[in-house]
Chain A
């Protein structure tokens, strides 16, 4: 089978399309014919050797994929009796391997997808939506009527946070760089918009909340945007650390945390899915119900063929496209 292979730490273009052996199937696994694989910021980190996990070479990146089941391990009938060959599923793949024609995945991690969901949408769905759901529901306990500030609001995870924030009854302020991105954020339900190329996040959030500040901040961007948001939060606010897409890892002054009685909350959804798979699975049930009811509108900003996975990762890093970047196989 064909796969994009990483043989040395480096930029996205170090990935090469290669013919590799099919991975062996463990009894509790299924083999997928992959049709689409979502591109994530963590993929660029793992290829650069900067991720918390450093796989042995050669390896294939890709933490999420959608496809159909082509082979079922012998123990799977006990774990997931309703899985069958030909079934359409998506999966979060903790060990990577999504940038390939086929992958073996633990049966427990598979989620059957609705008939009407196309492959590209499904391939880009699991990580963004389950990260935002886990962060807002379980880590921040976002309440109806609270104000949610979403940074990097037009990115894949940012858009999903806007939509989920609205489903939970929050007022959503979207912050992003440029009017095109903000138009996408608005189309996904944002109540208020901040263009941080032209406006101060801090001043605008205060204006929009009568000086109180945001109750929950969802931050996949980090750096300066976080520092500004820290000065525009309400008493008792929860600030969710999702990632550092801006490239600078901020240090949080503990006195500001203290005087406003706020919480800085780390969100590592990938690790949570390993420790508490039931919680993440319940999240998918709710998310797919919302999707089927038309209440979530996943955006695929651009797709690339498998051989151009490097270009797909560059496109993500450029932060030019709204929503998800997806590799089609």
Chain B
């Protein structure tokens, strides 16, 4: 089978299409013919050797994939060949034609969901849902500020914030991106190329500030948001897409009684797979009832995974980038 392989740390362009032997299936495993794989910021970190997990070479990146089951281990009872599924791949492997994995990590997808949508679904929605409910305890009527609001994970935070009854302020870097955030339910918009996040959030909240901040961007955007939060706000640290890692002055955390909260959904998935599967099943039900509208900005063929990663890093697209195999 074909896969995109990483043989040394480097830029996305270092990935090469290679031919690999299938490994035999263990009794508790399932083999999936991958039709689509989601592209995530963490993939670029993994290829650069900057991720918390450093796999041995050669390895295949890709933390989420969707496809159909083509083979099942003898001990697997709850799945059947031909079934359409998605999977979260903690250690990568999605940028490939096939993947073999623990059948417990495989989630059936609704009939009406295509593979591209399914492959874009679990990491972004799973992260936003886990962050806003379990880590941020977002309450109905609270104000949620989403930074990087038009990115793959940002848009899911806008939608889930609305589902949870919050007022959502979306901040992003252009009018086009903000239009997408609006279409996904954002109540208020801030263009941070033109406006101060701090001043606009204060204006929009009658001076109080946001109750919860969802931040996959980091750097200056975080620093501004830190100065536009309400008493007892929760600031969710999701990532550093802007490329700069902020240092948070502890006195500002103290005087406003706020919490700065790290969110690693992947690690949570490993520690509490039952919670994560239950939440994913609930999110898929929300999708079936039309409450979530996944946005796929662009898809690339498997062999162009490097270009797909570059597209993600360029931050030019609103929504998810997906590979089709």
Contacts and interface: CB of A to CB of B under 8 A. Distances in A.
Given A254-B218, A266-B257, A244 B251 contact: yes
A249 B251 contact: yes
Interface residues of A, number: 32
B239 A258 contact: yes
B255 A258 contact: no
B257 A264 contact: no
Given A251-B249, A257-B237, A266 B261 contact: no
Nearest to A226: B250
B260 A263 contact: yes
Interface string B186-220: 00000000000000000000000000000000100
Nearest to A275: B231
Given A262-B262, A264-B260, A271-B231, A251 B254 contact: no
Contacts of B79: none
Interface string A238-277: 0001111000011111111111111111111001100100
Given A261-B264, A264-B259, A267-B257, A254 B246 contact: yes
Given A259-B52, A266-B258, A268-B256, A252 B264 contact: no
A61 interface: no
B203 to A, nearest CB: 23
A9 interface: no
B311 interface: no
A268 B248 CA distance: 17
Tell me the dominant secondary structure on chain A's binding face: mixed
Given A235-B271, A259-B264, A263-B262, A52 B255 contact: yes
A222 interface: yes
A258 B52 CA distance: 11
A256 B237 CA distance: 10
B267 interface: yes
B263 interface: yes
Contacts of B275: none
A257 B262 CA distance: 5
Nearest to B222: A254
Interface in A9-29: none
A261 B267 contact: yes
Nearest to B244: A254
Contact of A264 (B239, B248, B263, B267): B248
A252 B235 CA distance: 13
Contacts of A264: 248, 250, 253, 259-261
A250 B262 contact: no
Contact of B262 (A222, A241, A260): A260
Interface string B132-173: 000100000000000000000000000000000000000000
Contacts of A266: 250, 252-259
A265 B252 CA distance: 11
B261 to A, nearest CB: 4
Nearest to B52: A259
Interface residues of B, number: 32
A263 B259 CA distance: 6
Contacts of B267: 235, 261
Chain A CB count within 10 A is highest, among B240, B250, B264, for B250
Contacts of B247: 251-254
Given A263-B259, A263-B261, A268 B245 contact: no
Contact of A267 (B238, B248, B254, B263): B254
A268 B254 contact: yes
Chain A CB count within 10 A is highest, among B231, B261, B262, B263, for B262
Contact of B249 (A226, A249, A260): A249
A241 B231 contact: no
B279 to A, nearest CB: 16
Nearest to A52: B255
A267 B254 CA distance: 5
B248 to A, nearest CB: 4
A264 B263 CA distance: 12
Given A258-B264, A265-B259, 11 more contacts: A235-B267, A254-B260, A255-B245, A257-B260, A259-B52, A260-B262, A262-B261, A264-B248, A264-B253, A266-B259, A268-B256
22 contacts: A244-B251, A249-B251, A250-B250, A252-B249, A252-B250, A252-B260, A253-B245, A254-B218, A254-B240, A254-B245, A254-B248, A254-B262, A258-B263, A262-B262, A263-B135, A263-B259, A263-B260, A266-B253, A266-B258, A267-B257, A268-B254, A271-B257
Interface of B: 52, 135, 218, 222, 231, 237-240, 245-264, 267-268, 271
